[in-house]
């Protein structure tokens, strides 16, 4: 997808109604109050010695940063929003310690899309436009798995 196609996808998501149920959509995932578009997806890294992984990580961050420049021209500078503390909250049992096997599931329930984003996206570039949040981020679930450039449109405030 080209940069123009990425911008068109973001504009389309901003104009679409949110789905009533969580699930896959034609461009990613969605649910009540949010859309997550998978703008780009890399190959996996099962056979990589680390060099391709590093180059791909840099490429996806550059793609995100390039889109950020264009969206900054529209909406001003984004907030830089770290999801690390949200991820910690999903793991925490309330006393600042991580879950043990006996505490399984004791972490805080973070609303979507923020909960699922926090498990694979370290930070977001975030704008508030016309009552909705628009975010860009780079996702990777595990070192061997693909990178994804994500665009998020949601009416749900960040926790």
User: What pTM does this model have?
Assistant: 0.87
Residue 155: pLDDT above 70? yes
Task: Please state the domain count of the chain.
Answer: 1
Average pLDDT, the chain: 89
Closest CA to 139 of 64, 67, 79: 64
Give the Cα separation of 81 and 77 in Å (integer). Answer: 12
3 state DSSP class of 29: strand
User: Using one digit for the tens of pLDDT, what is the confidence trace for 83-104?
Assistant: 988 878 877 655 544 444 444 5
Give the Cα separation of 67 and 127 in Å (integer). Answer: 13
User: Using one digit for the tens of pLDDT, what is the confidence trace for 6-51?
Assistant: 999 999 999 999 999 999 987 789 999 999 999 999 999 998 888 8
User: Using one digit for the tens of pLDDT, what is the confidence trace for 41-84?
Assistant: 999 999 888 889 999 999 999 999 999 999 999 999 999 999 98
Give the Cα separation of 152 and 21 in Å (integer). Answer: 17
Structural domain boundaries, residue 117: 3-154
Give the Cα separation of 153 and 159 in Å (integer). Answer: 15
Domain assignment of residue 111, yes or no: yes
Give the Cα separation of 123 and 23 in Å (integer). Answer: 23
Domain assignment of residue 95, yes or no: yes
Domain assignment of residue 159, yes or no: no
pLDDT of residue 104: 52
Question: Tokens for 112?
Answer: 């979507």
Report the run of H or E that residue 153 belongs to, with start and end.
strand 147-154
Domain assignment of residue 65, yes or no: yes
Domain assignment of residue 51, yes or no: yes
């Amino acid at each position: 997808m080209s940069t123009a196609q990425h911008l068109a996808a973001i504009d389309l998501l901003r104009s679409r109604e949110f789905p009533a149920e969580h699930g896959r959509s034609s461009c990613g995932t969605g649910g009540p109050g949010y859309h997550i578009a998978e703008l780009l997806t890399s190959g996996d890294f099962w056979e990589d010695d680390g060099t391709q992984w590093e180059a791909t990580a840099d490429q996806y961050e550059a793609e995100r940063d390039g889109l950020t420049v264009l969206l900054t021209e529209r909406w001003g500078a984004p907030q830089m929003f770290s999801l690390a503390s949200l991820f910690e909250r999903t793991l925490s049992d309330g006393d600042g310690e991580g879950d043990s096997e006996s505490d399984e599931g004791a972490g805080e329930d973070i609303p979507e899309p923020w909960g699922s984003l926090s498990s694979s996206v370290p930070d977001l570039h975030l704008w508030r436009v016309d009552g909705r949040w628009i975010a860009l981020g780079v996702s990777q679930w595990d070192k061997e798995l693909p990178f994804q450039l994500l665009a998020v449109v949601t009416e749900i405030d960040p926790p």
